[in-house]
Structure 1
Amino acid sequence: MTAAEVDAYLAGLPQDQRDALEDLRKRLKSRLPDHIECLSYAMPGFRQPGPKGKMVVGYAAFARHLGLYPHSGSVIPLIDCAPFKTSKSGVLFTPAHPLPDALLDAILRLRQDEIAAGYGRRG
């Protein structure tokens, strides 16, 4: 699970989706500079540093939209993502309408707070 695998994932996308997700990738890297870029659940994303680092966020391309997924079903329902469509686990967008920085920051902040509070720990 390396940045090269993420490069390969992005290279296989149509140009508009590739451009949009490369921009999102760059924005995520700037906000999560010490995190590990990887593939999880067949989508690119960023994991906390360390051998047991939790997934913070992933992103993916689909036939009619792109998605950002904070690897938690608890984050998206807490945020007003309008005018974007959402699912329990992600926010959907298109190359023509990327996620604004404020929404991206809110998602990352809530997910990191959730991890810090122990979300996903066993025992």
Structure 2
Amino acid sequence: MQHASVDDYIAGQPAAVQSVLQEIRRNIHESIPGAGEMISYGIPTVTLDGHYVVYFAAWKHHISIYPVPRGDDTLNAELEPYLAGKGTLKFVLAKPIPYGLIGRVAAQLAAEGPAKNKNGETDA
């Protein structure tokens, strides 16, 4: 199902997951002043200056955050238990969600700047 907006995406999730997604969204926006948002690849995407910064998505048993920041060793050590692939963080819904950590991920991704595609060009 294609969602028209982040609000629409969140509204389409189970009630218990909606509150988790709203809190993740709030933490990301608090960590990236001036951020925008859109749906990209069918999931909520937070943007800054027209470039994507971070994606988040709800799954049956977890929330995923993409991509994983690269530039902060201390943060990367804290993220280790949540790594679920080269560029994915996985937060299990049955456990407490570390909202502050997700906000720090978003802030670090914004500080690292826009992602580069395989041709070295900035993705929009």
Does TM-score exceed 0.5, indicating one fold? yes
Q: Using the alignment, how far apart are the partners of 1:122 and 1:45 within structure 2?
A: 19
The residue that corresponds to 1:41 in the other structure is 41
Residue identity in the other structure for 2:35: H
Per the alignment, residue 60 of structure 2 pairs with 63
2:96 counterpart letter in structure 1: H
Structure 2: segments with no counterpart, 5+ residues:
none
Is the strand fraction higher in 1 or 2?
2
Are positions 1:99 and 2:98 aligned together? yes
Asked if 2 retains the 8 angstrom alpha-carbon contact of 1:69 and 1:91, the reply is yes
Percent identity reads 23
In structure 2, relative to structure 1, the CA distance for the partners of 1:91 and 1:55 (3 Å cut) is same
TM-score of the superposed pair, with normalisation by structure 1: 0.74
Cα 1:33–1:25 change in 2 (3 A) is same
Q: Per the alignment, in what secondary structure is the counterpart of residue 121 of structure 2?
A: coil
- Size of the alignment, in residue pairs? 113
Match of 1:114 in 2: 112
- Give the Cα–Cα distance (whole angstroms) in 2 for the partners of residues 16 and 66 of structure 1: 12
CA distances 1:67-100 after superposition (whole Å, capped 9, x unpaired): 1113xx6639x61214324221121013332124
Q: Distance in 1 between matches of 2:61 and 2:112?
A: 30
Distance 1:66 1:30 in 2: 19
- The CA RMSD over aligned residues, in Å, is 2.8
Bigger relative contact order (CA 8 A; separation at least 6): 2
Report if the CA contact (8 A) 2:24-2:102 is conserved.
no
The structure 2 residue matched to 1:54, chosen from 32, 42, 51, is 51
Structure 1 gaps of 5+ residues are none
Extract structure 1 runs of 4+ deviating beyond 3 A: 73-76, 118-121
Q: What letter corresponds to residue 111 of structure 2 in structure 1?
A: D
